[in-house]
Structure formats: structure tokens, C-alpha cells
Copies of this chain bind each other. A is one copy, B any other.
Amino acid sequence: MPKQLPLAAMDACCSPLAQQPLTEEQAVELSRLFKAMADPVRLRLLSLIASHVGGEACVCDLTDAFDLTAPTISHHLKVLRESGLITGERRGTWVYYRVHPEVLARLSAVLVPGGRRVPA
């Protein structure tokens, strides 16, 4: 997992890409996050975690939604963790996953068209 949240290179809070051209550094950082989301299973995992009661979910809450093996689910969760989109914390038997809402918020703000900003 990265030591700091992704998008650290973004300006204070993220000029929309329609407001001013992204720098190379910003584009590289954003492209890593979009790459992590460029898979339907990972998007559904992200959504299941983000929308789960209490904002966190363990693997035990996630596997039933997919016709996939546990190692495959684990692989996708690892990609999401390594991108910085989610975090995982072991408590007892299970690892519990949460999204980083600030990363989602920044991605959302970057994509606002026409230079409008998402309210804080």
C-alpha cells in the first residue's frame, strides 16, 4: 500500500480537468487510479465496500456477489489496496476493507465538467 494517499500531487483540491490541463505528474497519478477501476469486478467490489453498512466490509461480505474463486477476489482487492482506493485492516479472523472517501471525492471533483467544483 502506498505510504501516502494517492493524488498528493493534485492541487489543493483538484482543479477539474476541464478547467485547466492536467500536468504530466497529475495525469500519471490519476491514470493509476483509473486503471485500478478499469475492471468490472474491481468496480463492483469498490461499490460493495463503499455502500456496505458502516462503510466497511470483510471478504466474507463480498464473495457471495461473485461467481469467482476466493484467490481471484483477493487479487482484485489487492489491486484496489495498492492503488490507494481502499484500505484493509485485520481484526481477528477477517480483513475489513474501507474506501478512502477523500480519494473518491478528489476523483469526482477532477471529472466535474465545465470547471464547476463539487461542494465540500
Per-position 1/0 for A30-49, Cβ under 8 A of B: 11001101111111101110
Q: What interface size band does chain A fall in? A: 35 or more
Are B38 and A38 touching (Cβ within 8 A)? yes
The oligomer's copy count stands at 2
> With A107-B111, A108-B111 in contact, do A18 and B47 touch (Cβ < 8 Å)?
yes
Is B111 touching A47 in the complex (CB atoms < 8 A)?
no
User: Which chain A residues in 96-115 approach chain B with CB under 8 Å?
Assistant: 99, 101-102, 104-105, 107-115
Secondary structure type dominating chain A contacts? helix
Which residue of the partner chain B has the closest CB to A44?
B27
CB nearest neighbor in B for A112: B108
Interface positions of A from 2 to 61, Cβ below 8 Å from B: 17-22, 24, 27-28, 30-31, 34-35, 37-44, 46-48, 50-51
Q: List 8 A-B contacts (CB under 8 A).
A: A21-B65, A22-B47, A31-B40, A34-B35, A101-B113, A101-B114, A104-B111, A107-B111
